[in-house]
Amino acid sequence: MTASPLRILAIANQKGGVGKTTTAINLATALAAVGEQVLLIDLDPQGNASTGLGIRAADRGVTTYDVLGGDYRLEAAVTDTDIPGLALAPAGVDLACAEVELIDADRRHYRLADAIDEYRQSAGGDPVSYVLIDCPPSLSLLTVNALAAANAVIIPLQCEFFALKA
């Protein structure tokens, strides 16, 4: 059987509390349960996906903040979870500073895309079959990085007007 091609899915909506993180965790877990190798990238300073997957703030070593800043490669942030086949690149509250710190940085919109490319190249192929990116509730540089890296976007929303507008 040939390996499935890598799919990179951003889960985004600038409206808060619409189920982005819940979708990210459950979809990642379901894909892992059917045998896919999945990396969930937490790109929200709230770190809800990291907490939801049982990685406490004190146990988050290298985070997506370090990766976007160029201090570490993505593979240094990747950590196993209790779910077989599901790995996580965690986020911490320091990620809230990335927007300001990267304001004049080269390729600031492509930091995550470049890190994922490097991750694939250093593994000599696709280390996972799915990358899911949990976005913050804003159209910030973080979300733009996720959209620039993704093949497709999942937009969860509640059935109410403001969530639809967002």
Q: Which residues bind Mg ion (CB under 5 A)?
A: 20-21, 48
Q: Which pair of tokens denotes residue 107?
A: 């390729």
Least separation in angstroms between CB 93 and ligand ATP:
13
Burial class (CB in 10 A: 0-12, 13-18, 19+), 35: exposed
Positions 16 through 75 that interact with ligand ATP (CB under 6 A): 16-22, 44, 46, 48
Residue 137 makes contact with ligand ATP by CB under 6 A: yes
Least separation in angstroms between CB 88 and Mg ion:
14
Q: What H or E segment, with its residue span, contains residue 55?
A: none
Least separation in angstroms between CB 78 and Mg ion:
20
Question: Which residue, 25 or 38, is less far from ligand ATP as judged by CB?
Answer: 25
3-state secondary structure 31-68: HHHCCCCEEEEECCCCCHHHHHCCCCHHHCCCCHHHHH
Residue nearest to Mg ion (CB): 21
State how far the Cα of 84 lies from the Cα of 87, in Å rounded to an integer: 8
* Site residues (vs ligand ATP, CB under 6 A): 16-22, 44, 46, 48, 137
